Amino acid sequence: MFTLYTKTMKIKVLITALLFFTLSGFSQTHDEKRAQIKALKVTYLTTELKLTTEEADKFWPVYNAYEEKQYNIRHNKIKPLLRQIGNGALEKMSEKEAQVYLDKFQDADEELFYLRKKLINDLKPIIGSVKLIKLKKVEDDFNKKLLEKYKDKDKEKKD
């Protein structure tokens, strides 16, 4: 039991170290950074969820398809809307125009909601309910570590 605990702790430390040190490249393109983050996330989620080889073989194609669709919604629907209402445009907008934007935001949020719901339904037979709940926590933990890393990097730039 102690050996397993020590091995698990070493893996967690290694993953955390990888997360903090490999994201420090300044000259990387957006796609390179995204691929690097994805690789770290695969390792982190696989380890934290303790996916078996069989589970991982079925889990990752479903999860990757979900992530790609989610990325497309955020970057092809939500991000352009945010750009359009930036730079003071919101202050000049009529209620009618604002309602159009609000409807578009709600449609995108609804798409994301149903996409997550589909992910849960698709993954439940693969990893079960307990690991699905853990998935949410592990995703949040990974995102938190990622944000902390970028905040630290931003602080270093300012100092």
Q: Over the stretch 54-72, which tens digit does the pLDDT of each residue have?
A: 999 999 999 999 999 999 9
- Can you give the pLDDT at residue 149? 83
Residue type, 113: F
- Can you give the pLDDT at residue 156? 65
Q: How far apart are CA 114 and CA 141, in angstroms?
A: 23
Torsion of CA 25, 28, 34, 37, to 10 degrees: -20
